[in-house]
Amino acid sequence: MENIFIKYIHQGKIASLEELKRTYRQIVMKTHPDAVGSDSLVEEYIECRHYYEEARTLFENEVQHHEITDYRLLFYKEYYSLERIDKPYAFNKYYFSRNQIELTKQRASEYFRKWQPERNELYEQANRIYDQIKLEKPRGPYMKHALLFNLSPVFHNILSYELTGLQFYQKQLKQNFAAVLFQLEQRQFHKLVEFIQFLIADMEQGPVIHL
């Protein structure tokens, strides 16, 4: 027999856990021994209870999935904003206050923690390294931020792909990351490498903007 609660969820007739409970109470009272006055429908009552538990598990899993997906989207949007504004002067056309940058950092960190709680420490360690790189003084004949100059396009391509879905950014990323990986490993920035590799692996799910 078809699980009527799951059927109602898929049809949109049940859109919350409270609605599921309310519907269950309405249906189960038709078979409950106390309501019927006998145990003639006890098998139907047990079956109804089983269907309810099955539907509740499905519903809770779907709700959790949507919450995780939302935080993934929020993180990528916020991190894109952070990547755009938190740069040395030479990388930015416009001035952003320290307060703006810190608030954006806090939001990005919060969304990542809610999306990937088990990787929160990795995120914090990687971003401390990234902040350190941003503070390095330019050097060489052209006064370039050598490592940041190569690292910035890596994040740009990851974030742009996630928020647009354009394959162009994936292709560019392969070139960018290959160029900067040796530099990061040479300086033992392993946590930053691990974080970038996580973001690259996450791209396999498809761009977040399409979810």
Per-residue pLDDT of the chain (211 residues; tens, 9 = 90+): 678 888 887 776 777 777 888 888 888 888 877 777 777 777 888 888 888 888 888 767 765 555 555 889 889 989 998 988 887 755 555 567 788 889 999 999 999 999 999 999 999 999 999 999 988 877 665 445 578 888 989 999 999 999 888 888 998 998 888 889 989 999 999 999 999 999 999 998 889 875 4
The pLDDT of residue 48: 86
What is the CA angle 48-50-55, rounded to 5? Answer: 95
Long-range contacts of range 114-119, CB-CB < 8 Å, 24 or more positions apart? Answer: 114/71, 115/68, 115/71, 115/72, 115/74, 115/75, 119/198
Instruction: Give 153's Cβ-side CA count (13 Å radius).
Output: 19
173, 147 contact by CB (below 8 A) = no
The predicted structure's pLDDT at residue 117? 93
Terminal-residue alpha carbon distance, the chain: 33
pLDDT of 65: 57
47: burial class by Cβ within 10 Å (0-12, 13-18, 19+)?
middle
HSE at residue 174, side-chain half, CA atoms within 13 A, is 4
